[in-house]
C-alpha cells in the first residue's frame, strides 16, 4: 500500500522524487523518506508524518543527485516513526531499499542474519532486505545478482526499488504481488507504484509482472525473471492520463471534486457502450466471452470494501434480469475457504485500482479452478485487467480521495451494462432492454440535479457532526447503499455507523435508538416503500432523529422525518446510483465540519496491496 518512486537520469532527482511522493501520498502517509547516491556518496533523509514535512527539511539541505528512490509509508510492521520509515539500509549505508508489501519470513531471516553480525535498528519486516543483499554482495555478487539471490530467500509480497552507492549507474526493481511500473524517458527512466507519480515526466510506461526483476539504467533497462537469465522483451504502453486529472480543480478536497465529477464519470462509463435500437450494451472487453458468460450456471462477484457493496447491487441486477444465480464474496475470505468453483461458473472481480491484493489472490485461485474470470476495474493496465479472461474498464478517471465515490457509481453502471448484455442474450425483451437504456442515459442529468442540493446537505451535516453513532437503513437495491453510506461516514468522520436491511432493525439494532441516535433511511417510492415507512414510524416512536433520502414527489414523508433529501426517480436497478450521492455528501460535510483530513483519513490507504 506504500508509495514507491525512483529516478535515474541526468536531472536532479530530488524534486522529481518529492513531487512523485506527493502524487502517491494517498497510498500511505505515516512517514516518508528519500535515499540518493551522488559521486559514490549516499544520503538518506526520513521523517515521520506527511511528505510536506520531509520536503520542508530537504529544502534546507540543497541536495543534488541523478539517482534516487523515495517512499511514503502505510505502516504494517512497526509503528510510524522516523526510524521505521523507508529507505532501509545496510550498516555502511551503501545499499538503500524501499519496499511495498509484507515479508512473511522476516523473523527467521533476521535471526539468521544476526548470527552473522548484522544489527537491526527498526521494527520492520523490510529491514532484512538490505542486509540480505549486503550478505550476497560480500560473497562477490554484483547488485543485480545479489538482489535476485535475496529474493529467492523472501516469502511474501514485494514491490522493491534498490540503489547501491558502489554501482551508481543503475537502480534495481522487482515485483511480486505489489504493483510497479517503469516510466521510459529520453535519457532518463522512472519507477513508481502508480503512474500518477511519473505522469508529469513521461507517458511511456512498462507494467512489471510478478517474478520480474529489472536493472534500470538512464538510457535502457533489462528485465529478467527471478530464476532465468534470458532477457524479457517488454511492451511499452502509452497512457492517456493527464496532470489536470490529478489536480483538485479548485475544490477544497479531492473527495468533493470526485463527488462532483459523477455526472461525467457515469457518462464516461456508458460512452460508446449503449445500443438503443437493440436495447443492449456493447462491451468490447467481453466480446470473446459474452456467449460463455450468458450461458454460465452461476455468477460469483468477488471484491472488497466499496467494490463489495457495488457487487451486492450487481447481484440483485443479475438475478432479477439475467436470472442467473449470483453470489457476492469477500475476496479476502474467498481464497482461504476452499470455495466450490466449477468450470461453468463466471466470476467478476471488482477493484478500482485493479491491484487489490485479496481480489487479485482470489482471481488467481479461481483461474486455477477453471472458472471464467472477468474484471471490472478503473486503472488501465492494472494486474486484474491483465490477468482476467476479459473485462470492462469503468473509465471513471483517476480517483485520489481515499474514500471511494465516483468509482462506486461507475462500477454500478458497468454492472448494469453487463446485466443488460446478458439478459438480452437470454430472455429479456427488446422493449424492456430499451427501457433500461433510456433510464441509463438520463442518469447524468439526474445526478447533476442531486449535486445542486449540496448546500442543503451541508446544513443537515452541521446538525449531526457531533453524533457518536449512525444507523443507515434500506431495503432491496438500497440495502447495499445503506452499507456504503455507513462505510463513507466511518472512513472519513470516524463516527461509528452501521448499515442494515431496514426490516432487520427489529432484530437487534432498534435497541440503540434514542433521541441522540440519527437514523438515515433510504426511502424512494418503490415496491418496498410502504414497508420502509413502517420502519420509519418505529424509529419515530422511539424518538430517533431521522434523515430520509426520498423521491422528489413524496410530500407525505416530511411529516415523519426530521430532514428529507429529495432526489429524482429512476428504475429500481439504477436507484443506488442516485441514492448514494446524498450519503457521500453527508459524510463529506460532517468530516469537514469536524476539522478532519477528508482525503487522507487515519489508518487508511487508497490501494490495498497487502493482506
pLDDT in tens, 515-560: 888 999 999 998 888 889 988 988 888 888 899 999 999 989 999 9
Per-residue pLDDT band for 608 (boundaries 50, 70, 90) equals: low
Number of H helices, E strands in the chain: 18, 26
pLDDT value for 544: 84
Mean pLDDT of 333-344: 84
Cross-strand bridge partners of residue 7: 68, 190
Per-residue pLDDT band for 433 (boundaries 50, 70, 90) equals: very high
pLDDT value for 381: 83
Concatenating the DSSP letter of every residue in 314-374 gives HHHHIIIII---EEEEEHHHHTTS-----TTEEEEEEESSS--HHHHHHHHHHHHTT-EEE
Distances (CA, A) of 214 to 46, 200, 235: 26, 22, 14
Topology (CATH) of 453-604 = Rossmann fold (3.40.50)
Q: Are 347 and 311 in contact (CB under 8 A)?
A: no
Give the integer Cα–Cα distance in Å for 575 and 529.
13
Give the integer Cα–Cα distance in Å for 34 and 161.
12
Share of the chain above pLDDT 70, in %: 98
Give the integer Cα–Cα distance in Å for 411 and 310.
6
Angle of the 51-59 helix axis to the 13-24 helix axis, nearest 10: 160
Does the structure show a pLDDT above 70 at 218?
A: yes
Give the integer Cα–Cα distance in Å for 538 and 556.
16
**C-beta pairs of 428-434 under 8 Å, 24+ apart in sequence:** 428/279, 428/321, 428/322, 429/279, 430/278, 430/279, 431/279, 432/279, 433/278, 433/279, 433/280, 434/276, 434/279
pLDDT in tens, 76-109: 778 889 999 999 999 999 999 999 988 999 999 9
Q: Could you tell me the three cell numbers for 168?
A: 551508481
Least confidently predicted of 162-171, 311-320, 465-474, 499-508: 499-508
Concatenating the DSSP letter of every residue in 105-174 gives THHHHHHHHHHTT----SS-STTHHHHHHHHHHTTT--HHHHHHHHHTT--B-EEEEEEETTSTT-EEEE
Does the structure show a pLDDT above 60 at 182?
A: yes
Mean pLDDT of 417-439: 97
272-310 burial by CB neighbour count: b if 16+ within 10 A, else e?
ebbbeeebbbebebbeebbeebbebebbbbbbbbbbbbb
Common-topology check for domains 250-451 and 453-604: yes
pLDDT value for 205: 93
Which of 437, 366, 393 has the alpha carbon at shortest distance from 285? 393
Mean pLDDT of 406-435: 97
- The pLDDT mean for the chain works out to 91
538 versus 345: the higher-pLDDT residue is 345
Topology (CATH) of 3-245 = 3.60.20
Residue 331: burial class (beta carbons within 10 Å; 0-12, 13-18, 19+): buried
Does the structure show a pLDDT above 90 at 605?
A: no
Q: Could you tell me the three cell numbers for 233?
A: 522483451
Q: How many CB atoms lie within 10 A of CB 11?
A: 17
pLDDT value for 606: 55
Backbone CA torsion sign across 510, 515, 516, 519: positive
Backbone CA torsion sign across 448, 452, 454, 457: negative
Concatenating the DSSP letter of every residue in 239-261 gives ----GGGGS-TT-SSHHHHHHHT
pLDDT in tens, 482-502: 999 999 999 999 999 999 988
In this prediction the pTM is 0.81
CATH architecture label of 250-451: 3-Layer(aba) Sandwich (3.40)
Least confidently predicted of 192-196, 444-448, 590-594: 192-196
* Residue 549 Ramachandran class (φ > 0 left, ψ -120 to 50 alpha, else beta): beta
Please state the domain extents for the chain: 3-245, 250-451, 453-604
- Active site amino acids: 2, 606
pLDDT value for 595: 95
Q: Are 495 and 504 in contact (CB under 8 A)?
A: no
Per-residue pLDDT band for 374 (boundaries 50, 70, 90) equals: very high
Give the integer Cα–Cα distance in Å for 500 and 482.
7
244 versus 492: the higher-pLDDT residue is 492
Does the structure show a pLDDT above 70 at 348?
A: yes
Cross-strand bridge partners of residue 238: 204
- 3-class SS of residue 586: helix
312 versus 249: the higher-pLDDT residue is 312
* Residue 37 Ramachandran class (φ > 0 left, ψ -120 to 50 alpha, else beta): beta
pLDDT in tens, 107-116: 999 999 999 9
pLDDT in tens, 5-30: 999 999 999 999 999 998 888 777 78
Mean pLDDT of 29-50: 90
pLDDT in tens, 252-300: 999 999 999 999 999 999 999 999 999 999 999 999 999 999 999 999 9
Cross-strand bridge partners of residue 182: 191, 206
**Residues 6 or more apart in contact with residue 441 via CB below 8 angstroms:** 270, 274, 276
Scanning 357-508, the segments in alpha helix (DSSP H) are 357-368, 383-387, 406-425, 430-451, 454-464, 479-493
Residue 604: burial class (beta carbons within 10 Å; 0-12, 13-18, 19+): middle
- 3-class SS of residue 420: helix
Mean pLDDT of 456-476: 95
- 3-class SS of residue 498: strand
DSSP assigned state of 65? -
Amino acid at each position: 500500500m506504500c508509495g514507491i518512486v525512483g529516478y535515474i537520469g541526468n536531472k536532479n532527482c530530488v524534486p522529481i522524487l518529492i513531487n512523485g511522493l506527493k502524487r502517491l501520498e494517498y497510498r500511505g502517509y505515516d512517514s516518508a523518506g528519500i535515499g540518493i547516491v551522488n559521486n559514490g556518496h549516499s544520503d538518506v533523509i526520513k521523517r515521520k508524518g506527511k511528505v510536506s514535512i520531509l520536503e520542508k527539511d530537504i529544502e534546507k539541505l540543497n541536495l543534488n543527485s541523478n539517482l534516487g528512490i523515495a517512499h511514503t509509508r502505510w505502516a504494517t510492521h512497526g509503528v510510524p516513526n522516523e526510524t521505521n520509515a523507508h529507505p532501509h539500509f545496510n550498516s555502511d549505508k551503501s545499499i538503500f531499499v524501499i519496499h511495498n508489501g509484507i515479508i512473511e519470513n522476516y523473523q527467521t531471516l533476521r535471526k539468521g542474519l544476526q548470527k552473522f553480525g548484522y544489527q537491526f535498528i527498526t521494527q520492520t519486516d523490510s529491514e532484512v532486505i538490505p542486509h540480505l543483499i549486503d550478505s550476497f554482495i560480500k560473497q562477490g555478487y554484483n547488485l543485480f545478482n545479489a538482489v535476485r539471490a535475496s529474493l529467492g530467500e523472501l516469502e511474501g509480497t514485494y514491490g522493491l526499488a534498490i540503489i547501491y552507492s558502489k554501482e551508481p549507474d543503475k537502480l534495481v526493481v522487482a515485483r511480486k504481488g505489489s504493483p510497479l511500473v517503469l516510466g521510459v524517458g529520453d535519457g532518463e527512466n522512472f519507477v513508481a507504484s502508480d503512474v500518477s507519480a511519473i505522469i508529469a515526466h513521461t507517458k511511456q510506461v512498462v507494467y512489471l509482472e510478478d517474478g520480474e526483476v529489472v536493472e534500470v539504467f538512464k538510457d535502457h533497462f533489462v528485465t529478467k525473471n527471478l530464476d532465468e537469465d534470458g532477457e524479457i522483451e517488454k511492451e511499452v504502453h502509452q497512457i492517456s492520463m493527464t496532470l489536470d486529472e490529478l489536480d483538485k480543480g479548485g475544490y477544497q478536497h479531492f473527495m468533493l471534486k470526485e463527488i462532483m465529477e459523477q455526472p461525467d464519470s457515469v457518462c464516461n462509463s456508458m460512452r460508446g457502450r449503449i445500443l438503443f435500437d437493440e436495447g443492449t450494451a456493447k462491451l468490447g472487453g467481453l466480446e470473446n466471452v459474452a456467449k460463455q458468460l450468458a450461458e454460465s450456471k452461476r455468477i460469483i462477484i468477488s471484491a472488497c470494501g466499496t467494490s463489495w457493496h457495488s457487487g451486492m447491487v450487481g447481484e440483485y441486477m443479475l438475478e432479477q434480469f439475467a436470472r442467473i444465480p449470483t453470489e457476492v464474496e469477500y475476496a479476502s475470505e474467498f481464497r482461504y475457504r476452499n470455495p466450490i468453483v466449477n468450470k461453468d461458473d463466471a466470476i467478476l472481480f471488482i477493484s478500482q485500482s485493479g491491484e487489490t491484493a485479496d481480489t487479485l489472490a482470489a482471481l488467481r485461485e479461481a483461474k486455477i479452478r477453471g472458472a471464467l474470470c472477468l474484471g471490472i476495474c478503473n486503472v488501465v493496465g492494472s494486474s486484474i485487467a491483465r490477468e482476467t479472461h476479459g473485462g470492462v474498464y469503468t473509465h471513471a478517471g483517476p480517483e485520489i480521495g481515499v474514500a471511494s465515490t465516483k468509482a462506486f457509481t461507475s462500477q454500478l453502471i458497468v454492472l448494469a451494462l453487463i446485466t443488460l448484455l446478458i439478459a438480452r442474450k437470454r430472455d429479456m425483451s427488446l422493449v424492456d432492454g430499451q427501457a433500461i437504456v433510456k433510464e441509463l442515459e438520463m442518469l447524468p442529468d439526474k445526478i447533476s440535479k442531486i449535486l445542486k442540493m449540496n448546500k442543503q446537505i451541508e446544513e443537515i451535516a452541521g446538525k449531526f457532526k457531533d453524533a457518536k453513532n449512525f444507523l443507515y437503513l434500506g431495503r432491496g437495491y438500497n440495502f447495499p447503499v445503506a452499507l456504503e453510506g455507513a462505510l463513507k461516514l466511518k472512513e472519513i468522520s470516524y463516527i461509528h455507523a452501521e448499515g442494515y436491511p431496514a426490516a432487520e432493525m427489529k432484530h437487534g439494532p432498534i435497541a440503540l435508538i434514542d433521541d441522540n441516535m440519527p437514523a438515515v433511511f433510504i426511502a424512494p417510492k418503490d415496491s418496498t416503500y410502504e414497508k420502509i415507512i413502517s420502519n420509519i414510524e418505529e424509529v419515530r416512536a422511539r424518538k430517533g432523529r431521522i434523515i430520509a433520502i426520498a423521491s422528489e414527489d413524496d410530500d407525505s414523508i416530511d411529516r415523519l422525518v426530521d430532514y428529507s433529501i429529495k432526489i429524482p426517480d429512476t428504475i429500481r436497478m439504477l436507484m443506488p446510483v442516485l441514492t448514494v450521492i446524498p450519503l457521500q455528501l453527508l459524510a463529506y460535510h460532517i468530516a469537514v465540519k469536524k476539522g478532519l483530513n477528508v482525503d487522507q483519513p487515519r489508518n487508511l490507504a487508497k490501494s490495498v496491496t497487502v493482506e
